[in-house]
Amino acid sequence: MRKYDAIIIGSGQAGTPLAKKLAEAGYKTALLEREFIGGTCINYGCTPTKTMIASARSAYLSKNSKYLGINTGSISVDFKKIVSRKDKIVRSFRENLETNLIKVKGLDILYGEASFITDKTLKLSSANKKDLLLTADKIFINAGSRPTIPAIKGIETINYLDSTSILDLKEIPEHLIIIGGSYIALEFGQMFRRFGSKITIVERSDQFLSGEDNDVAAELKIILEEEGLNILISSETKSLKKNENGSIIVTLNVKGKAKTIRGSHLLMAVGRTPNSESLNPEAAGLQTDEGRFFKVSNKLQTNIKGIFALGDIKGGPAFTHTSYNDHLVIIKNLLEEKDINIKNRMVPYCMFTDPQLGRIGLNEKQAISKKLKYKVALIKMDRVARAIETGDTRGLIKALVDTKTKQILGASVIGTEGGEIMTVLQMAMMGKVTYEEIRDGVFAHPTYSESLNNLFMTLDSK
């Protein structure tokens, strides 16, 4: 039995920096990883997708540069090169992390599959090696999540793709059907459309991007449809079948009527399932919710003292930045004697379609459900000088302000660099800056952020 002060399961966005900082603070620490250092974000999530999305944007700009007075002639997509560029960047991010971790004194990086034996003991299994037994008073679970594969009739008969396997495709799909309409689905959908695929998005809900405000979702839907994405809403997938010629037949239930579509490839993008079962949580007495996510306190402690869960596996918003922030909560409470929790933490997000959708704080749907008194400031991107000058006026900026305090409650930004514009508004929220201060602020002309003057001027008459 190897004894440690702290054991971290999973080298995700929380586990990796946590392991480093605990070891540097003098904790004898073990980081257990069953596959790759860096977890989902670096290996199968943010890094590879945003790398490939950059190629897709370049294809889009090249095809559409005529109106800026640039004639390119016909363009072609070298998919092999796109995938190999992505692989190189992923490998370099992972190797940099590994190189930095290996140097940390007091940290053992152990590869294998971890599972609980008791609340203080873990087994680490790996092929061709004897199982290791490890114990620690403090155990941090950062084992992440994986694509959800729903039990649709006939699924076992087809070769479907998920968000991981699609990254290693050798060819551009002729017709990619995507089951699911969330950010993973839309980012892949637009990307492959720009590489030349026909795309059909199949969304079960009656509203496209149902968590967003109707006007925001409608704006983005039009933008994607203008690029040729076929978006089906109110469409429940009933069965899947492989055709004799290798194509995939999808039978849908659209408001009670059966509809059949055929595609060359199918991507399942219906959500994420936590990697909790293989941890054998029952052996430690750990409680999970109905989705098998670990239940945690606001300070990320599970129901068992000394065991914490961080990142996607604890449920709630599943982003790299929330997982990273989870490790800060632990570090500050444990090493700096602070009293930090995640209860009122801001959770921004950005969907990397082009244009991006940046979101922070409350949207109108949420403000209404909370019965808040608010005003809405909205401008379309075709009123933003920077957008007109650069030639992309798709999108809008919508912000909610509190009627009494005049502070910003939240914002949705669809636009080129929508994530960056949203972050400016997030900073204003963090500093409790009023909309009037932003309206009258001096911002460099002609930046996107300068348009926040105009955005909040729309409230003068309200």
Given the complex with ligand FAD, which of 187 and 364 has the nearer CB atom?
Answer: 187
Under the binding rule (CB under 6 A), the answer on residue 415 touching ligand FAD is: no
- Helix, strand and coil content of the chain, in percent to the nearest 5, comes to 35, 25, 40
Amino acid at 430: M
**DSSP for residue 246:** S
Three-class DSSP category at 340 = coil
Binding-site member from 8, 14, 223, 396 for ligand FAD (CB under 6 A): 14
Q: How far is the CB of 48 from ligand FAD (least distance, A)?
A: 8
For the beta carbon of residue 367, count every other beta carbon within 10 angstroms: 19
Report the C-alpha gap between 303 and 283 in whole angstroms. 13
445 is catalytic: yes
Given the complex with ligand FAD, which of 184 and 250 has the nearer CB atom?
Answer: 184
Given the complex with ligand FAD, which of 34 and 345 has the nearer CB atom?
Answer: 34
What are phi and psi for residue 38, nearest 5 degrees? 105, -15
Report the C-alpha gap between 409 and 128 in whole angstroms. 55
Residue burial 158-178, b: 16+ Cβ < 10 Å; e: rest? bebbbbeebbeeeeebebbbb
Stretch of residues binding ligand FAD (CB under 6 A), selected from 142-150, 214-222, 235-243, 247-255: 142-150
Under the binding rule (CB under 6 A), the answer on residue 163 touching ligand FAD is: yes
Binding mask 345-374 for ligand FAD (x = CB under 6 A): -------x----------------------
Query: Of 175, 265, 327, 445, which is the active-site residue?
Result: 445
> What angle do the packed helices 46-63 and 183-195 form, to 10 degrees?
40
Given the complex with ligand FAD, which of 83 and 252 has the nearer CB atom?
Answer: 83
**DSSP for residue 34:** S
Stretch of residues binding ligand FAD (CB under 6 A), selected from 76-84, 138-146, 148-156, 384-392: 138-146
Which residues, including other chains, have CB under 8 Å from residue 178's CB and lie 6 or more apart?
A: 185, 188, 189, 199, 200, 201, 202, 266, 267, 269
Binding mask 18-57 for ligand FAD (x = CB under 6 A): --------------xxxxx--xxx--xxx--x--------
Given the complex with ligand FAD, which of 263 and 358 has the nearer CB atom?
Answer: 358
Report the C-alpha gap between 274 and 332 in whole angstroms. 26
What are phi and psi for residue 264, nearest 5 degrees? -85, -30
Given the complex with ligand FAD, which of 123 and 383 has the nearer CB atom?
Answer: 123
Under the binding rule (CB under 6 A), the answer on residue 180 touching ligand FAD is: no
Q: How far is the CB of 325 from ligand FAD (least distance, A)?
A: 11
Under the binding rule (CB under 6 A), the answer on residue 17 touching ligand FAD is: no
Number of residues this chain uses to bind ligand FAD (CB under 6 A): 38
- Residue 220: both structure tokens together: 């983005």
Stretch of residues binding ligand FAD (CB under 6 A), selected from 242-250, 253-261, 301-309, 319-327: 319-327
Peptide bond into 446 cis (omega under 30): yes
Binding mask 277-296 for ligand FAD (x = CB under 6 A): -xx-----------------
Stretch of residues binding ligand FAD (CB under 6 A), selected from 6-14, 91-99, 340-348, 434-442: 6-14
Q: How far is the CB of 389 from ligand FAD (least distance, A)?
A: 28
Under the binding rule (CB under 6 A), the answer on residue 380 touching ligand FAD is: no
Report the C-alpha gap between 37 and 225 in whole angstroms. 38
Q: How far is the CB of 51 from ligand FAD (least distance, A)?
A: 11
> What angle do the packed helices 79-102 and 46-63 form, to 10 degrees?
150
- Within residues 108-137, the interface with ligand FAD by CB under 6 A covers 113-114
Binding-site member from 53, 83, 134, 143 for ligand FAD (CB under 6 A): 143
Given the complex with ligand FAD, which of 9 and 307 has the nearer CB atom?
Answer: 9
Report the C-alpha gap between 216 and 263 in whole angstroms. 29
Given the complex with ligand FAD, which of 184 and 377 has the nearer CB atom?
Answer: 184
Residue burial 281-309, b: 16+ Cβ < 10 Å; e: rest? beebebebeeeebbebeeebbbebeebbb
Q: How far is the CB of 288 from ligand FAD (least distance, A)?
A: 14
Under the binding rule (CB under 6 A), the answer on residue 423 touching ligand FAD is: no
- Residue 251: both structure tokens together: 């039978």
CA torsion sign for 262, 265, 269, 272 is positive
Q: How far is the CB of 272 from ligand FAD (least distance, A)?
A: 7
Given the complex with ligand FAD, which of 357 and 401 has the nearer CB atom?
Answer: 357
Contact predicate 172/40, CB 8 Å: no
- Within residues 182-211, the interface with ligand FAD by CB under 6 A covers 184
Return the active site residues. Answer: 445
Binding-site ranges for ligand FAD (CB under 6 A):
9-14, 32-36, 39-41, 44-46, 49, 113-114, 142-145, 163, 184, 275, 278-279, 311-313, 318-321, 323, 352
